[in-house]
Amino acid sequence: MYNLNGKVALVTGAGRGIGRAIALRLAREGAAVGVADIIEANAVAVAGEINKDIGRAMAMRVDVTDESQVEQMVTQTVNQLGRLDILVANAGIIQVSYLLDHELEDWNKLMAVNVTGVWLCCKYAAKPMIGQGPGGKIIIAASGAAKIASPRPHGAYTVSKHAVLGLTRSLAHELAKHKINVNAYCPGIVDTPMWEKIDREAGAMAGLKPGELKAQTVSTVPWGRIETPEDVANLVAFLASSESDYMTGQGININGGTVMH
Ligand code: NAD
């Protein structure tokens, strides 16, 4: 267990999947948590779970592609929870298409959420961290797709995740003087609605029945099982803690061995 008592965390895309598991885990470690998602009802439900049994949380509706909403989310967190120590820029989307068939409008939307949205959250969250004095943790959702390209038809997603690893490394340089760590987590095949979509849409393109693409892909995982959102939250809890204080600019794999560099 890591001691995050007295810390305040803000998690985007926290209404379900990996973000939900991270919000619950950081709350269990003692942090007060801003639970932000574009689907307000899901954010409210997760904050409710935390407030009922675990600790303290506040739900917020945010579209991370909207600069004024991101600024407002950070302001609200600081005003209501008192400070900001940990940002988990987790919100992300996937689209299933080959690059040569990708529509420009879809491409722009994917980049807006997965790259611009992450950068905006980092930009506004860093301000109160810097103002509070030394220290802070910025933790970014990357992916195995940040390090390798897959034969599956989600090339634009792969481009976006390579980009956030560049953001992680550049921002780590900029914020080191403030002792703010900037790291990314790179999961593998995680059992969330995102993989349901890949299975359904990419599976259909390959002529597979529902569940078949996921089962085939999981059968290649050296660890022998699908990844859970809690597997990812285990790493994020470490990255949010003082145990990772000398680690910055890294894209850390948490993937059962699917990518080993
Ligand atoms: P998910 O689709 O289950 O959840 C994503 C959450 O982000 C949802 O609650 C959604 O409402 C929210 N969201 C989407 N667009 C938003 C926006 N514009 N503003 C605010 N919130 C928004 O996905 P997940 O599997 O939990 O993935 C979480 C992160 O982990 C993503 O960045 C994803 O790319 C990354 N990731 C997932 C996997 C996987 O196998 N599932 C693997 C590697 C990386």
Per residue in 27-76, pLDDT tens? 999 999 999 999 999 999 999 999 999 999 999 999 999 999 999 999 99
Query: What is the Cβ-side half-sphere exposure of residue 76, based on CA atoms within 13 angstroms?
Result: 17
Residue of the nearest CA to atom 2 in ligand 1? 194
In sequence order, what are the beta bridge partners of 184?
A: 140, 251
Q: How many whole angstroms from 207 Cα to the centroid of ligand 1?
A: 26
Q: Is 38 in the pocket of ligand 1 (CB under 6 A)?
A: yes
> To test ligand 1's pocket by mutation, which of 12, 24, 38, 227 has the most ligand atoms within 8 angstroms of CB?
38
Q: Is 39 in the pocket of ligand 1 (CB under 6 A)?
A: yes
Q: What are phi and psi of 46, to 5 degrees?
A: -70, -45
Q: How many whole angstroms from 186 Cα to the centroid of ligand 1?
A: 13
Per residue in 161-190, pLDDT tens? 999 999 999 999 999 999 999 999 999 999
Q: How many whole angstroms from 134 Cα to the centroid of ligand 1?
A: 30
Q: How many whole angstroms from 78 Cα to the centroid of ligand 1?
A: 24
Nearest to 92 by CA among 12, 30, 207: 12
Q: Is 65 in the pocket of ligand 1 (CB under 6 A)?
A: yes
- Give the per-residue pLDDT at 1: 86
Q: How many whole angstroms from 39 Cα to the centroid of ligand 1?
A: 12
Q: What whole-number percentage of the chain has pLDDT above 70?
A: 100
Residue-averaged pLDDT of the chain? 98
Q: How many C-beta neighbours within 10 Å does residue 204 have?
A: 13
Work out which ligand 1 atom sits closest to the CA atom of 229.
26
Q: Quick one: average pLDDT of 223-229?
A: 98
Per residue in 2-29, pLDDT tens? 999 999 999 999 999 999 999 999 999 9
Residue of the nearest CA to atom 33 in ligand 1? 92
Exposure string for 107-130, b = 16+ CB within 10 A, e = fewer: beebbbbbbbbbbbbbebbbebbb
Q: Name the 3-class secondary structure at 137.
A: strand
Q: Is 214 in the pocket of ligand 1 (CB under 6 A)?
A: no
Catalytic member of 2, 124, 157, 185: 157
Q: What whole-number percentage of the chain has pLDDT above 90?
A: 99
Q: Quick one: average pLDDT of 75-80?
A: 98
246 is catalytic: no
- Give the per-residue pLDDT at 133: 85
Which amino acid, residue 61?
R
